C-alpha cells in the first residue's frame, strides 16, 4: 500500500515520476504521534528548569549543524523537547496546564519548540469569574466569559485542576470531596465540573473538559475519581465523551493510608467499560528521577512534606496555583511500585483503546522519553513480568498484572499513542493516514509480520525510541533517529463564534483593575504574538 | 610515572577531565598526548598544552605528576578509581570530582568544589582550598559519600555541603556554613569557623577546635564532653556538644572547644 503526500497533506494522487519515494516495506507506518497531556512549556516548566541544575548536568545535547544545544532529563529545554518528540515519531503535543496570566510566557515557549504542532489548555476551574457565574447558575454568561478567555489566552480546551481546591489553597485549605464547599464562593467542585461541562458543550469546543480530579495522589481517592465521572453522566449525549480524566493513575489509589495503599484500577476500569462518556489518559509512572509539577498547589505541598525535597509553590492571583517538587520513583518503594502497576492495570483493563491514552503526565510520572519503554510493557507480558519481578514485594503481591494476559496489538498501540488522542481532541487532520490528513507520519523499523512483540520487546523499545522516518507536514524531519531538518510547528487555538460577540462587562474591567496585577487592556494575547498560529473556528450553540 | 609540565601559564579555564590514572592506563605516550581537552571554547589535545615525560612503560595504575601551576585546570582526577596524582603547584576547580578511589596530593592551593560528590579515595592539599569542599553538585542532595579530604591550610564556605559519609579535615580555618545540609560523616576543623556551623544538618558530626562567633539558634546544648573521637583518633577537649539542626528535625552533633569559646559559657546554665 502506498501513502501519497503533496503540499503537506495526504492525497489520493500524485505525479509518480516526479515524486520522491521512501521505501518503507517491512516497516511499521503510523500517523505521527499525538500526546494529549505533556507539560512542555510555561512558567511552571521554566521554574522547574531553574529548580533543577542537577537534572541538566546529567543530560546534555551538543549543538549540531541543524539543531541547537540543550539540557535536561526531566524538564528539557524548549528546542530539545521538540527534537526528542520528533525522534520518537511524535508530531503533535498538548501542553495541558497554563495559568491564564502566564499565557504570554507559555506561548513564547511554544513558539520556541520546533518540530511539533501544539496547543495549550488554560486553567479555568478556579478562575474567580467562572466560579461566580457558576455559583449564580449563569451558564450562558459563563460560556461567553470562557469564549473570551480562550480568545485572550489563545487556548484550546478547558483545563480543570482540583476544582475548588486551588481557590481554597489560597486560604491554606483544600477540598476533600466533590461536595465540599469552596471558601468565600459557596460553590462545590461538583457544581464547577458540571457547570464547565455544560459550558464546554454550549461552546462546542473540540476537546471535552480536561479534568485533574480532587484528592489527587491520596490513598482512597479512587472513590473521588468515580464520583467525578458519575457527576456528568447525565450530560452525555449518545456515545460521545464529555469528560477527560487526565493522569488517571494518580487518581486510582485505594486504601486508607500510605501503608495500606493499593490499586483501584479495577473499579475505575469497570466503570469506564460500562460508560461511554469518559476518556482517560494514563499518567504512567516509570522508575526514574523526575520533576513533578502541577497546578495542584496543595498536592505539591503534601508531596514536599512526604519527601522533604526542595519545593516551589505559587499562588497565581485570582486564577489558580502551582507547585513543583523533584521526585524519584523507586522500584523498591511500595507506593511507587503500586503506582507503576496501577497505570499498566488501567491500560490493560480498559477494553476500548479509543478511550485510554498513553501518557506519563510528563514530567510527573516520568519524562516523555520513556514512552517506548511503556509501549513494551503494554505489548509484552514478558516485559511486564520482568519488571514485576524486581519491584517491591508487597506491591508485587497486590498487583493484578500477573493475572492479566492482554497484550496490545500494533493497532491498539497506534490508537493509544495517536489515533485515540487525535479523536479526543477532535484534531480531524491528525491521527490517521487517509487522504485529507496532515502528512504527519512516523515510520518505525519494525516488521509487524515477522516480529513477535511479546518476546522481542527490546526491539520495540529500540524502534519506538528512534523513528526510521518522521515526516512533519510532508517534510522528512527525522531519519534513522536523527534530526535532518528543523521545522516550526503550528500552535492551534480555538476561536469561538458566539451568536452575539462577547462584550466585556464593566464589572470585569473593574475587577481587573482591582484584583489583577495585569490591566484588562494588556491581558489578551494578540494573535501576532504566536509565531505560527492556526486558529480553529467553532460555532457555539449560544 | 608520567610527568606533565604546562607549556605556558594558562590564562583561560581548561577542562581536563582526562587527567586521570584510569584514562592514562594502558595507553601509549602518543595516545595520551592526543586526549581531548577544552581550553576555553576551543578543543585542544593534552599534548598541545602539556609537555610530557614518561619515566616508565605504560602501567596499569600509573602515577601522574603535574609539575607547575595548573590553577586554571579543572576536573583533574575526575571519576578516578585508582592510582595517584601529584600536583606540584596549585590545582583548579573540581579536583577529584566524583572520585571513586586512589590518591591526589596537591602541594599548593586548590580551587572550589575539590572532592565534590566523591565516593572514596584520598585528597590531600598542603595549601588552602576554595568553597564547597566535598559538596554536592548544584541543586543535588548527593554530596561526598566516602573517602578523606585533608586541607592543611584554610577552606572556604560550605565545606561538606550535603555530605553523606567520609571525613574532611581542615587544619586551618573554615568559612561560613561548614557542614550545611550534612547527613552523615565527620568534619574536623582545627582552626576557627566563621560561623553558621551545621546549618540544616540532619546527622553526622562537626568538631571545631578553634573559635566560633556564635551557634545557630536551632541548636541546643546537650553536654560537655572531655574528648571526642573522629575516625578512631581521640581529640582532647573539653567540648560543648550541641544537637541540631532542630529546624529540620536533625540529629547532628557539633563539638565546640570550650577553651576557645568562653563566650558560650552562658549555655552551661541550660545543662
Find the CATH number of the domain harbouring B233: 2.160.20
Count structural domains, chain B.
Answer: 1
- Residue reference for cell 561560613: B176
Q: What is the ipTM of this complex?
A: 0.84
Which residues of chain B are within 8 Å of residue A54 when distances are taken between CB atoms? 136-140
Which residues of chain A are within 8 Å of residue B138 when distances are taken between CB atoms? 53-54
pLDDT at A308: 87
pLDDT at A237: 85
The minimum CA-CA distance between A285 and chain B, rounded to whole Å, is: 22
For residue B117, give the chain A residue with the closest CA. Answer: A54
For residue A308, give the chain B residue with the closest CA. Answer: B248
pLDDT at B45: 96
pLDDT at B95: 97
Q: Do A81 and A94 form a contact (C-beta atoms < 8 A)?
A: no
CA dist B144 and B97 (Å) reads 10
DSSP, collapsed to helix, strand or coil, labels residue A481 as coil
Is-above-0.95 flag for pTM?
no
Check CB contact of A51 with chain B, cutoff 8 Å.
yes
In the numeric block, which cell numbers belong to residue A139?
A: 451558564
Render pLDDT for B57-79 as a digit per residue (tens, 0 to 9).
556 678 999 999 999 999 999 99
pLDDT at A130: 93
Check CB contact of A57 with chain B, cutoff 8 Å.
yes
In the numeric block, which cell numbers belong to residue A186?
A: 459557596
Could you give the percent of chain B with pLDDT greater than 90?
92
The minimum CA-CA distance between B41 and chain A, rounded to whole Å, is: 13
pLDDT at A76: 96
Contact criterion met (CB < 8 Å) for A55 and B138: no
Check CB contact of A507 with chain B, cutoff 8 Å.
no
Check CB contact of A49 with chain B, cutoff 8 Å.
no
Closest CA to A199 of A248, A238, A158: A158
Q: Which of B78, B79, B139 to mutate to test the interface with A (most CBs of A within 10 A)?
A: B139
Render pLDDT for A476-506 as a digit per residue (tens, 0 to 9).
999 999 999 999 999 999 999 998 877 778 8
Which residues of chain B are within 8 Å of residue A51 when distances are taken between CB atoms? 139
Angle, in degrees to the nearest 10, between helices A371-379 and A334-349? 60
Task: Tell me: pLDDT of A241 over 90.
Answer: yes
Q: Residue B137: which of A51, A57, A309 has the nearest Cβ?
A: A57
Check CB contact of B138 with chain A, cutoff 8 Å.
yes
Least confident of A69-83, A387-401, A422-436, B54-68: B54-68
Q: Which of B36, B117, B140, B248 to mutate to test the interface with A (most CBs of A within 10 A)?
A: B140
Contact criterion met (CB < 8 Å) for B140 and A54: yes
Mean pLDDT of B207-212: 97
pLDDT at A93: 97
Render pLDDT for A284-317 as a digit per residue (tens, 0 to 9).
999 999 999 999 999 999 999 999 899 999 999 8
Check CB contact of A55 with chain B, cutoff 8 Å.
yes
Q: Residue B137: which of A51, A54, A309 has the nearest Cβ?
A: A54
Check CB contact of B139 with chain A, cutoff 8 Å.
yes
Contacts of B84 (CB under 8 A, 6+ apart): B21, B61, B63, B64, B102, B103, B104, B105
Q: Do A261 and A254 form a contact (C-beta atoms < 8 A)?
A: yes
For residue A48, give the chain B residue with the closest CA. Answer: B139
Least confident of A364-373, B23-32, B82-91, B103-112: B23-32
Contact criterion met (CB < 8 Å) for B137 and A53: yes
Helical (H) or strand (E) element with A316: strand A312-316
Which residues of chain A are within 8 Å of residue B136 when distances are taken between CB atoms? 54
Confidence of residue B1 (pLDDT cuts 50, 70, 90): confident
The minimum CA-CA distance between B183 and chain A, rounded to whole Å, is: 13
In the numeric block, which cell numbers belong to residue A219?
A: 490513598
Size of the A and B interface in Cβ pairs below 8 Å: 15
Render pLDDT for B144-163 as a digit per residue (tens, 0 to 9).
999 999 999 999 999 999 99
pLDDT at B56: 67
Q: Do B96 and B77 form a contact (C-beta atoms < 8 A)?
A: yes
Which residues of chain A are within 8 Å of residue B113 when distances are taken between CB atoms? none
Contact criterion met (CB < 8 Å) for B140 and A51: no
Helical (H) or strand (E) element with A493: strand A491-497
Render pLDDT for B5-48 as a digit per residue (tens, 0 to 9).
999 999 999 999 999 999 998 888 899 999 999 999 999 999 99
Task: Tell me: pLDDT of A274 over 70.
Answer: yes
For residue B248, give the chain A residue with the closest CA. Answer: A308
Q: What is the 3-state secondary structure (H, E, C) of chain B?
A: CEEEEECCCCCCCEECCCCCHHHHCCCCHHHHHCCEEEECCEEEEHHHHEEEEECCCCCCCCEEEEECCECCEECCCCCCCCCEEEEECCECCCCCCCCCCCEEEECCCECCCCCCCCCCCEEEECCCCCCCCCCCCCCCCCCCCCCEEEECCCCCCCCCCCCCCCEEEECCCECCCCCCCCCCCEEEECCCECCCCCCCCCCCEEEECCCCCCCCCCCEEEEEEEEEEECCEEEEEEEEEEEECHHHCCCEEEEEECCCCHHHHHHHHHC
Check CB contact of B232 with chain A, cutoff 8 Å.
no
pLDDT at A239: 83
For residue A57, give the chain B residue with the closest CA. Answer: B137
Contacts of A407 (CB under 8 A, 6+ apart): A378, A379, A380, A381, A453, A454
Render pLDDT for B244-257 as a digit per residue (tens, 0 to 9).
999 999 999 999 99
A210 forms beta bridges with A159, A244
Task: Tell me: pLDDT of A108 over 90.
Answer: yes
* CA distances from residue A42 to A349, A376, A490, B72 in whole angstroms, order as listed: 34, 31, 17, 38
Render pLDDT for A383-393 as a digit per residue (tens, 0 to 9).
999 999 999 99
pLDDT at A503: 75
Check CB contact of B140 with chain A, cutoff 8 Å.
yes
CA dist A496 and B261 (Å) reads 74
CA dist A275 and A415 (Å) reads 19
Q: Do B93 and B31 form a contact (C-beta atoms < 8 A)?
A: no
Q: Which domain holds residue B96?
A: 2-270
Q: Do A364 and A216 form a contact (C-beta atoms < 8 A)?
A: no
Amino acid at each position: 500500500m502506498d501513502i501519497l503526500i503533496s503540499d503537506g497533506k495526504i492525497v489520493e494522487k500524485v505525479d509518480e515520476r516526479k515524486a520522491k519515494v521512501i521505501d518503507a516495506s517491512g516497516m511499521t507506518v503510523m500517523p505521527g504521534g499525538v500526546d494529549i497531556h505533556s507539560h512542555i512549556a510555561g512558567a511552571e516548566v521554566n521554574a522547574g528548569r531553574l529548580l533543577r541544575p542537577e537534572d541538566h548536568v546529567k543530560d546534555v545535547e551538543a549543538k549540531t549543524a541543524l539543531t541547537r544545544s540543550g539540557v535536561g532529563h526531566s524538564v528539557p529545554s524548549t528546542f530539545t523537547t521538540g527534537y526528542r518528540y520528533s525522534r520518537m515519531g511524535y508530531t503533535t503535543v498538548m501542553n495541558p496546564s497554563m495559568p491564564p496570566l502566564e499565557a504570554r510566557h507559555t506561548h513564547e515557549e511554544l513558539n520556541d519548540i520546533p518540530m511539533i504542532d501544539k496547543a495549550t489548555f488554560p486553567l479555568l476551574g478556579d478562575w474567580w469569574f467562572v466560579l461566580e457565574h457558576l455559583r449564580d447558575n449563569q451558564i450562558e454568561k459563563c460560556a461567553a466569559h470562557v469564549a473570551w478567555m480562550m480568545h485572550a489566552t489563545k487556548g484550546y480546551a478547558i483545563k480543570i485542576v482540583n476544582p475548588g481546591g486551588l481557590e481554597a489553597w489560597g486560604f491554606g485549605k483544600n477540598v476533600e470531596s466533590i461536595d465540599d464547599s469552596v471558601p468565600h464562593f459557596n460553590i462545590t467542585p461538583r457544581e464547577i465540573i458540571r457547570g464547565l461541562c455544560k459550558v464546554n458543550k454550549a461552546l462546542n469546543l473540540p476537546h471535552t473538559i480536561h479534568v485533574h480530579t480532587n484528592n489527587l495522589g491520596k490513598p482512597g481517592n479512587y472513590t473521588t475519581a468515580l464520583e467525578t465521572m458519575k457527576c456528568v453522566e447525565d450530560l452525555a449525549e449518545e456515545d460521545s465523551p464529555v469528560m477527560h480524566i487526565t493522569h488517571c493513575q494518580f487518581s486510582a489509589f485505594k486504601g486508607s493510608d500510605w501503608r495500606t495503599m493499593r490499586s483501584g484500577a479495577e473499579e475505575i476500569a469497570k466503570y469506564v467499560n460500562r460508560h461511554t462518556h469518559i476518556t482517560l489518559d494514563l499518567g504512567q509512572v516509570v522508575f526514574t528521577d523526575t520533576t513533578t509539577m502541577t497546578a495542584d498547589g496543595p498536592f505539591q505541598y503534601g508531596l514536599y512534606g512526604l519527601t522533604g525535597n526542595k519545593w516551589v509553590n505559587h499562588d497565581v492571583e485570582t486564577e489558580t496555583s502551582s507547585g513543583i517538587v523533584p521526585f524519584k520513583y523507586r522500584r523498591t518503594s511500595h507506593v511507587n511500585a503500586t503506582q507503576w502497576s496501577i497505570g499498566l492495570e488501567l491500560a490493560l483493563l480498559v477494553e476500548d483503546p479509543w478511550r485510554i491514552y498513553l501518557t506519563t503526565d510528563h514530567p510527573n510520572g516520568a519524562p516523555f522519553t520513556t514512552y517506548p519503554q511503556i509501549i513494551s510493557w503494554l505489548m509484552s507480558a514478558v516485559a511486564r513480568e520482568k519488571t514485576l519481578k524486581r519491584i517491591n514485594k508487597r506491591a508485587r503481591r497486590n498487583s493484578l498484572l500477573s493475572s492479566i494476559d492482554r497484550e496490545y496489538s500494533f493497532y491498539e498501540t497506534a490508537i493509544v499513542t495517536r489515533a485515540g488522542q487525535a479523536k479526543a481532541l477532535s484534531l480531524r487532520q491528525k491521527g490517521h493516514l487517509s487522504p485529507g490528513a496532515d502528512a504527519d507520519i512516523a515510520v518505525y523499523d519494525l516488521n509487524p509480520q515477522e516480529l513477535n512483540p511479546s518476546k522481542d520487546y527490546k526491539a520495540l523499545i529500540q524502534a519506538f525510541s528512534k523513528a526510521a522516518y518522521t515526516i512533519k507536514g510532508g517534510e522528512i524531519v527525522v531519519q534513522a533517529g536523527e534530526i535532518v531538518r528543523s521545522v516550526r510547528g503550528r500552535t492551534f487555538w480555538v476561536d469561538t463564534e458566539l451568536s452575539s460577540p462577547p462584550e466585556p462587562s464593566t464589572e470585569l474591567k473593574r475587577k481587573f483593575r482591582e484584583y489583577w496585577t495585569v490591566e484588562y487592556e494588556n491581558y489578551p494575547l494578540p494573535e501576532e504574538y504566536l509565531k505560527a498560529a492556526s486558529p480553529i473556528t467553532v460555532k457555539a450553540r449560544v | 610515572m608520567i610527568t606533565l609540565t604546562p607549556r605556558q601559564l594558562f590564562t583561560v579555564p581548561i577542562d581536563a577531565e582526562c587527567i586521570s590514572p584510569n584514562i592514562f592506563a594502558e595507553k601509549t605516550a602518543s595516545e595520551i598526548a592526543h586526549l581531548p581537552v577544552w581550553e576555553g571554547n576551543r578543543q585542544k589535545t593534552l599534548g598541545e598544552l602539556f609537555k610530557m615525560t614518561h619515566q616508565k612503560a605504560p602501567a596499569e595504575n600509573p602515577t601522574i605528576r603535574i609539575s607547575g601551576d595548573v590553577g586554571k585546570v579543572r576536573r583533574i582526577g575526575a571519576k578516578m578509581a585508582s592510582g595517584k596524582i601529584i600536583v606540584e603547584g596549585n590545582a583548579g576547580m573540581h579536583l577529584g570530582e566524583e572520585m571513586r578511589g586512589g590518591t591526589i596530593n596537591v602541594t599548593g592551593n586548590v580551587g572550589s568544589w575539590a572532592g565534590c560528590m566523591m565516593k572514596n579515595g584520598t585528597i590531600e592539599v598542603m595549601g588552602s582550598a576554595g568553597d564547597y569542599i566535598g559538596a554536592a553538585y548544584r541543586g543535588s542532595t548527593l554530596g561526598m559519600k566516602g573517602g578523606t579530604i585533608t586541607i592543611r591550610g584554610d577552606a572556604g564556605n560550605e565545606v561538606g555541603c550535603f555530605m553523606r559519609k567520609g571525613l574532611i579535615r581542615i587544619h586551618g580555618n573554615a568559612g561560613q556554613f561548614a557542614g550545611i545540609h550534612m547527613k552523615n560523616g565527620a568534619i574536623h576543623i582545627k582552626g576557627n569557623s566563621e560561623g553558621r556551623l551545621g546549618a540544616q544538618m540532619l546527622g553526622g558530626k562537626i568538631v571545631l577546635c578553634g573559635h566560633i562567633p556564635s551557634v545557630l539558634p536551632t541548636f541546643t546544648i546537650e553536654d560537655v564532653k572531655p574528648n571526642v573521637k573522629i575516625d578512631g583518633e581521640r581529640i582532647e577537649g573539653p567540648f560543648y556538644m550541641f544537637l541540631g539542626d532542630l529546624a529540620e528535625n536533625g540529629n547532628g552533633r557539633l563539638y565546640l572547644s570550650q577553651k576557645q569559646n568562653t563566650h558560650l559559657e552562658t549555655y552551661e546554665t541550660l545543662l
